[in-house]
Each structure stands twice: as C-alpha cells, then as structure tokens.
C-alpha cells in the first residue's frame, strides 16, 4: 500500500474500557494478514510523559528502546504485535504544548497569535502523521486517551476531525469503544449511554464508522439494530466485545466479530487472506491448559494496584505458557516483611520476585526478603531496585558491612554499595533524566545468565539513577556474589548471580519490558522453570 491508512480509537461512557487492548487486537489481526501496523497513544494529561507520575496515579511507566517513558498501553502494543515502539508512539498534551511554546519562543510564529486552532491542532496532526509518513507502515492506529467529552481531549478530537479532510475518507476511520451496561433490576441492556457518547462525538464533527460495545452479556439482534439506527452506523459495524478470561483472547473474539474485515471494507482494501494466527492459538492453548502450577510471591511497594507491575505480570503469563504452567502471583507489600516474619510470609512460595521501585519506603522489607531467599535457597529474581536490595543485603550480612546501603536511602552511608552515577549528581530536573532505554550488556561465559540467554551480547532496557558501586566489586565476587553482566561502554554492573544457589539472579535492567507473546523473555521462562523444580524438590522431601 502506497499511503498509510489512519485508524482512530476513541472511548466513551467511562475510562478503562480497554481501548489499548482493542487497538492492539485490531493491529494483530491486520498484521496477521500481512500488513505492517503501528499503534500510538495520545494522552490528554499535561505531564510531558508519565515518568514523574506515581504508579498509583497511572499504573506502570513503560520504557521503549529509545528511552521514552510512556503509557502502559505501549506495552500491550509491543506484546501483541511483537514490534518495538518509540518516542513517536506516545504523545501527551504536555508534549504538544511544550513543542508549540518552544517554537513560539524561537520566533517560528512571529507576528501570529498562537491559538489552540490551528497551532495546537497542527502540532497534534504532525505527531499523528509522523509514523505514517515514514513509509514503514500500512496502518497507523491512534488511540485517544480519556473519554469523549472530557475538556482535556477536545483538541485531540478536533485534530482527528481535521485529519479526515487532510487524508481523504478512504484513508480515515474512527472506531468508538463504548459501554452497554446491564441493569439487573430491569433485566436489560441499556443503549442510552452509548447514544449520548456518540452524540458528543457528532457534536465535535466526527461520525464513528464502527462501534465496539463492551458488555458483560451478548448483544441480541434488536440491541444491535437499535444502536445502528440511533448511532448512524451499519448494523454489521456494531461489534460486540464481551468480557474475556484473558486479554489474549480478545484478538480471537474480534476475529469472530469480523472487526478487521469491517475495517478493510470501510477503507476499500481488497484482502482475501485469512489471518495467520496459528502461533497465537498455540500460545493460548498452552496458557489455558497448564499441566503444572507454581506460586510466585511478588514483593513490591505498589501491590494494591497490580497495573503498577503490568509488564512483570504479563511476562509471567508468557513464561507460564512456555512451561505449560499456571503462574499464581501473590502480592506481598514489602512494608509488612521483617526479619521475624520473613520465613512465615515467604517460605510457602516456589519462587519470589523482588520488584522495582523508587524511594526508601518498603526497602528494608525487600532487603529482609532477599536475606531469607538467599539463606533458604528459594529461587530469587530481583529487578532494578530488587537487584540493588540483593547487593545491599549481601554487603550487610555476608561482607559484614553493617552500614552498607544505597545513597538513595542514606546519603551519608559509610558503605554506599549502590551509588549515584557521577553524571546524575549534577541533575536537578526529575523528568526524563534517568538512565533510560536500551543499553548493551556483555554476559560472562559460563554464567547462569549466559546459559539462559544462549549468547554473550544482549541489549536490555533501563530506568534508574543509581548503580552498583564498582569499588566493592572485588570484595563481593570473592565472597560469592558474581557480577556476570557488565555494560561494555561504562563497566557498570548489569547482572549479579549468587554462587551455590539454585536460582539467584538480579538484573539492573528491566527484562519484563521485552517479553512478548511470540518472544517470551528467557529469564522469566527459566525462573518459572526453577520455581517448578523447587516445588518438585519440596514435594519429594515430604
């Protein structure tokens, strides 16, 4: 296809309906027919990016190879499409306004009154077209965050209206995701919220082409007819989106509802190819028919909101399917773990992951967790701060450096085994200034991590400020905590492993960010396998 087609996914009635999953599922169905697809997310908040947001505010902050801190929906896009995203795939109101104000200060609008229309909307459109004009994609799917009718999203909706006339009706399509609630007292599905939502879109000058209706119950033909009549869409374009057991069912459900066929027909693209979803179905088959199960404890500080660890949860889903094993994740607040209760809290698990995080709250609990896991030989996996806690614990309890700590937790620590990088000491702005994105790592031959990856040179994504202090490296390695992954450019430690332990690995990087359905991350795959082995050993001792 010579020209990229632009598909917009909007939402109404309520947030959290699953625009990201619908966008990713449609992208998967188009990709499975041989098309090249990318998906971008436009977020209406004024933060430049979600990097400075508390996970309780916005869930996980996802990081791309090029170092962009982005919305967690980009994780879904990558996990479904198995293709990397970038800075261009996530745009916020903050970035739009920042770009426009920067141009105004440089004098690029000299003599002009800078306004929402056309200057803000033009900047939004520039970002919409950026990926499509690269020539790499047949389809650019753009998800508009928030709800239609929100004050924040008005400029985005106006920009979408203008795009139709910029690219032509055959290159433009709007999918509106909405809710059909079921009132148990009346025992009926209600279409009025959807009618009002579509009416708001129409007031903004946009007629949706396809309605995707989230519902707990099947939509009977009369409801579809009513929606088609009142929302001015063809009855075949009223798509049912029932609640699914797993998000990975959604492409199959949308296949049954012929969502991709409706899109191709509306955009006048002849395509007789059936989507090739064989690998996807194999994955689903393994996911839904496990032959084993393990219990994994996830020690973190944001456990009340599982979305804060979304990529970790999904990486366990992918790894579980490979091992034909159901992974039961149990959430443990690190603030509740002490030296006295660590055995009773953690001893029942087949493996424990100590999660990433920032700040000192809950860190001592994570350190106590690592101590118990190290001593009891239960499989341990530490990511980012989890790896740093393993280093601090080892320094305190094995090297007997009682004051060992991270300067993030104690600036005056006598033994700062985790310290701020030199270049980070001069940083005053918090946003976008960490070590972000993909960096190379050399794995030591013969190490456990090397055998897991099957190679010595890897690239993984980072999001942190503090690093292993190499002044303590020799001391640590002599005592048995080996640095088995090193950044070749800086000499910084990326991976630590413990000798004489069945599975004790900490990574400074975030392996969960690169796990996809078709390429599960090897560290998660082998960690689940280690948990299975630990469970078998425990059972044989009983």
Name the residues annotated as catalytic: 384, 510, 512
Interacting residues of 426 by C-beta distance below 8 A, sequence separation 6+ = none
Binding-site sequence positions: 15-21, 56, 73, 143, 150-152, 190-195, 226, 244, 357, 385-388, 408, 465
Binding-site sequence positions for Mg(2+): 73, 143
Q: Where are the alpha helices (DSSP H) in 32-147?
A: 55-58, 73-81, 93-106, 121-132
Binding-site sequence positions for UTP: 15, 190-195, 226
Q: Which of 375, 380, 311, 367 lies closest to 335 in space, CA to CA?
A: 367
Binding-site sequence positions for ATP: 16-21, 73, 244
Bin 83: left if φ > 0, else alpha if -120 < ψ < 50, else beta: beta
Q: Which of 498, 286, 254, 276 lies closest to 375 in space, CA to CA?
A: 498
How far apart are alpha carbons 128 and 134 in whole angstroms? 11
Interacting residues of 63 by C-beta distance below 8 A, sequence separation 6+ = 69, 70, 436, 437, 461, 462, 463, 510, 513
Instruction: Please check whether residue 140 is in contact with residue 26, taking contact to mean a CB–CB distance below 8 angstroms.
Output: no
Exposure class string for 148-159: b at 16+ Cβ within 10 A, else e: bbbeebebbbbb
Binding-site sequence positions for CTP: 15, 150-152, 190-195, 226
Residue 218 preceded by cis peptide, ω within 30: no
DSSP class of residue 3 equals S
Pair type for strands 380-383 and 504-507: parallel
Instruction: Please check whether residue 403 is in contact with residue 415, taking contact to mean a CB–CB distance below 8 angstroms.
Output: yes
How far apart are alpha carbons 135 and 151 in whole angstroms? 34
Pair type for strands 238-242 and 210-215: parallel
What number of residues does the chain have?
542
Query: With 0-12 CB in 10 A as exposed, 13-18 as middle and 19+ as buried, what is 204?
Result: middle
How far apart are alpha carbons 490 and 119 in whole angstroms? 43
How far apart are alpha carbons 383 and 388 in whole angstroms? 8
Instruction: Please check whether residue 227 is in contact with residue 194, taking contact to mean a CB–CB distance below 8 angstroms.
Output: yes
Instruction: Please check whether residue 142 is in contact with residue 6, taking contact to mean a CB–CB distance below 8 angstroms.
Output: yes
Helix axes 310-322 and 278-288, enclosed angle (nearest 10): 90
């Amino acid at each position: 296809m010579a020209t990229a087609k632009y598909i917009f996914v909007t939402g109404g009635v309520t947030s959290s309906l699953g625009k990201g999953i619908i966008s990713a599922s449609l992208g998967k169905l188009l990709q499975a027919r041989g098309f090249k697809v990318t998906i971008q997310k436009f977020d209406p908040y004024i933060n430049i990016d979600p990097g400075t947001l508390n996970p309780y505010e916005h869930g996980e902050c996802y990081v791309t190879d090029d170092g962009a801190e982005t919305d967690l929906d980009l994780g879904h896009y990558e996990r479904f499409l198995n293709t990397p995203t970038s800075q261009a795939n996530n745009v916020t109101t903050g970035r739009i306004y920042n770009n426009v104000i920067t141009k105004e200060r440089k004098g690029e609008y000299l003599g002009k009154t800078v306004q929402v229309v056309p200057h803000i909307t033009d900047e939004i459109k520039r970002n919409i077209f950026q990926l499509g004009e690269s020539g790499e994609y047949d389809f650019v799917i753009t998800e508009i965050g928030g709800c239609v009718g929100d004050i924040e999203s008005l400029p985005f909706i106006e920009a979408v209206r203008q795009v139709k006339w910029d690219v032509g009706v055959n290159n433009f399509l709007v999918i509106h995701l909405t809710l059909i609630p079921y009132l148990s007292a009346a025992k009926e599905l209600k279409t009025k919220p959807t009618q009002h939502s579509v009416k708001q879109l129409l007031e903004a000058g946009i007629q949706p082409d396809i309605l995707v209706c989230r519902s707990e119950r099947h939509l009977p033909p009369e409801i579809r007819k009513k929606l088609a009549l009142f929302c001015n869409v063809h009855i075949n374009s009223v798509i049912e989106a029932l609640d699914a057991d797993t998000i990975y069912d959604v492409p199959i459900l949308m296949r049954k509802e012929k969502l991709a066929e409706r899109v191709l027909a509306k955009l006048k693209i002849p395509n007789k190819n059936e989507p090739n979803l064989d690998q996807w179905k194999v994955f689903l088959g393994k996911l839904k028919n496990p032959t084993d199960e393990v219990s994994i404890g996830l020690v973190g500080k944001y456990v009340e909101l599982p979305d804060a660890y979304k990529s970790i949860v999904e990486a366990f889903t992918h790894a579980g399917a490979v091992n034909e094993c159901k992974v039961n994740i149990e959430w443990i607040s690190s603030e509740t773990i002490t030296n006295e209760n660590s055995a009773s809290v953690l001893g029942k698990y087949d493996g424990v992951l100590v999660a990433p995080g920032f700040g000192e709250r809950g860190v001592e609990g994570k350190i106590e967790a690592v101590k118990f896991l190290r001593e009891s030989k239960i499989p341990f996996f530490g990511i980012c701060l989890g790896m740093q806690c393993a280093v601090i614990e080892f320094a305190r309890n094995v090297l007997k450096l009682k004051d060992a700590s991270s300067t993030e937790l104690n600036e005056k620590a006598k033994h700062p085994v985790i310290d701020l990088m030199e270049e980070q000491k001069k940083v005053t702005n918090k946003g976008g200034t960490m070590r972000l994105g993909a960096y190379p790592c050399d794995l030591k031959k013969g190490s456990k991590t090397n055998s897991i990856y099957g190679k010595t040179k890897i690239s993984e994504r980072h999001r942190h400020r503090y690093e292993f202090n190499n002044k303590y490296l020799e001391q640590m390695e002599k005592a048995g905590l080996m640095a088995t992954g090193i950044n070749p450019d800086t000499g910084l430690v990326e991976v630590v492993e413990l000798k004489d332990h069945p599975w004790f690995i900490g990574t400074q990087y975030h392996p969960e960010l690169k796990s996809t359905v078709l390429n599960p991350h090897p560290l998660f795959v082998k960690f689940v396998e280690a948990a299975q082995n630990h469970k078998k050993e425990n059972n044989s001792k009983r």
